Amino acid sequence: MEEVTGQLLKTTIDELRRTKQVIVTPDANPSGEPPIFIIGVHRSGTTLVRLIVDSHPRIACPPESFFLLGLSRVLEDEKSVEGLAAMGFTEQQVRHQLRECASYFFQLYAKSKGKTRWADKTPSYIDCLPFLDALYGPDCRYLLVFRHGLDVACSLGDVTPREVKEHVDACGGDPVAGAARYWSRQVEKMLAFQREHASRCFEIRYEQLATEPEPLLRGAFEFMGEEWDPRVLKFHDQPHDRWIGLEDRKASEAKQFVPNIGRYRSQSPDVIRRMLAEASPMLETLGYVVEQAPESLDP
């Protein structure tokens, strides 16, 4: 029944577009230079990457913007699509206008910083990657940030953002197991996107970024089509807008590259086992060594 209803709705919308299309807009690329999206799970090192990118003299990267999630729902909502079709707008035209709307805010932000190109770092945008791709197409560049899932889970366990709550509930209220589950599900979405758009994605491993930043970052800026500028390594000396929110305060206030690797090893064997139960398959997929928790010495 639902399939029939969906087909009827599509037929109705197609008919509306054929009979009522009255507005024509060019399917042009958004004005300005190709955008950059920094994509990664909360506490994966995305704040550090934002500060680095924002330190480049041509690129402005604000704190988390969030609003694109709201825009994405316009195309996801059947009634919105049906209503716009009744007004004579095609999906292509709607995408064009949403793109112009989004770019307006980012471009003005970059201009206010005396820069010509913008980037964005909002971990929640993992949930609307297809929408970003629909908006900006092949010119867009994505920096995909990955970090060991158990380190992410330990860091998330300290704050438990709203997005993690359903996963914590699914794990019986266990915050670290829920965080590990959340990490795994979000990384799965990132990898699926990377497989489909490999040429537009550059992979950043937090562990390498924190210990050997320059060679990795030289590759990243070349991928973005930007000349290397050593000031990005001195990100702490550059001015940045601050909005703590869910950003990692330690990363936001860091004065140098300080590796935070293997924190999970300080957890009890039981905690490590609970996290591994949720994260082991994805850790193996990413090539991380999966260290089994030692047996507890408790009787």
Task: With respect to residue 185, please indicate whether it lies within any of the assigned structural domains.
Answer: no
Tally of domains within the chain: 1
Task: With respect to residue 289, please indicate whether it lies within any of the assigned structural domains.
Answer: no
Task: With respect to residue 241, please indicate whether it lies within any of the assigned structural domains.
Answer: yes
> pLDDT tens across 218-235, in order?
999 999 999 999 999 999
Higher pLDDT, 99 or 10: 99
CA dist 286 and 278 (Å) reads 14
Q: What is the pLDDT of residue 76?
A: 83
How is residue 297 annotated by DSSP? -
> pLDDT tens across 61-73, in order?
999 999 999 999 9
Q: What is the pLDDT of residue 28?
A: 41
Domain, as residue range, for 220: 12-148+198-267
Task: With respect to residue 170, please indicate whether it lies within any of the assigned structural domains.
Answer: no
Higher pLDDT, 252 or 39: 39
CA-wise closest residue to 280 among 112, 138, 124, 150: 150
Task: With respect to residue 281, please indicate whether it lies within any of the assigned structural domains.
Answer: no
Task: With respect to residue 286, please indicate whether it lies within any of the assigned structural domains.
Answer: no
CATH number, domain with residue 98: 3.40.50.300
CA–chain centroid gap for 252, Å, is 17
Length of the chain: 299
Q: Residues 231, 238: contact at Cβ < 8 Å?
A: yes
Q: How confident is the model at residue 104 (pLDDT cuts 50, 70, 90)?
A: very high
Q: What is the pLDDT of residue 111?
A: 94
State the average pLDDT over residues 172-198: 96
Task: With respect to residue 176, please indicate whether it lies within any of the assigned structural domains.
Answer: no
Q: In what order do the strands lie in the sheet with 141-146?
A: 59-60, 117-121, 36-40, 141-146, 201-205
Task: With respect to residue 84, please indicate whether it lies within any of the assigned structural domains.
Answer: yes
- Mean pLDDT computed over every residue of the chain: 86
